Structure 1
Amino acid sequence: MDSCRIRPAEPGDIEDVLAINSEAPLSALPESWLRDPLLCADAHRLILVAERAEGIIEAFCLAALVLDEASLLLIAVRPGARGKGLGRQLLLALLDGFGPAGIHRCLLEVRESNMAALALYQSCGFARDGRRRGYYPPEAGGKREDAVLMSWTRKVEDHGCA
């Protein structure tokens, strides 16, 4: 795969972001959140995209910013681009961008069965803080799934990613 450039999303990226979001059915965000006309210009949200040289958006991430904290809402990668490090690239860029924004802490929740995401977050310095029992709706015919709560705190010398 060609290397991707990580950059802030622009209004013209939203259709691609919506398509990627729809391909992440277990973690997809409500479409109305992504269709918000102020999404790309809101100082309280940070949305980044991973774009190939040909202009194809392969992945995105979205975080909500409140004072000196952020909540990572989603990292989503097109199915054909998964397993190639784009999630890590986006997460590193997001964490790097927090310093200039005065963000010192990032919170998230992740399905306990999402081993790839848990490994990524742990390798980037996120610590497990707790659990929300039955937080996620069930997959086809299954039972509700717990959310693992995680947090990252900016280190003085770096952003804590390996």
Structure 2
Amino acid sequence: MNWPEEIAILVFVKEELAKVDKKGWWSYHFPEVAASRTRLSELEKDLGCSLDPQYASFLLYADGWQGFYQTVDLFGCNELSGNKKMQQALELLRATEDGALEQAGITREDVIPIAATSCDKDIFLLAKPHTSIAGTVLWFAGEEIDRFENFDEFFLAMVDYNREEVFSLRGADDH
């Protein structure tokens, strides 16, 4: 994935979204400054497992993104290290019913939260390397909403979801 190009595309989409968001529904932020390879290595030691290569590659260009999609923050190293946002995400994961996780073919130990919102129950989970679905990103909001084959697919889908918000808000202006 060409991260500089893909990140620039999402920045452009978010700028367009900010222009049409007349009611100020969402907050708009640039992505965080890139993580270093050293920081990623330290994080992997702390986590006790390797990060998914696609996600790690993204973090080398943008170490997280507040307001990535609506009120969902995409986590960087600080969150993955266990800050307040990660604690809230882990609470969302604990609140997700066992049956919903079982139906998705995962356990809480199989995943790591990589994005979440603090004002609803949306959480995005990345399947750890030891699982049969390693690298898969799952979107939960009480139940499985969507599943992305890998981090790259997840990122591109979120760009599209942001574009849909632009079109939706533009349409609302027409009424």
Same fold (TM over 0.5): no
Structure with more strand by fraction:
1
Computing the radius of gyration over CA atoms, which structure comes out larger, 1 or 2? 2
Give TM-score scaled by structure 1 length: 0.30
Structure scoring higher RCO (CA < 8 A, sep ≥ 6) equals 2
Give TM-score scaled by structure 2 length: 0.28
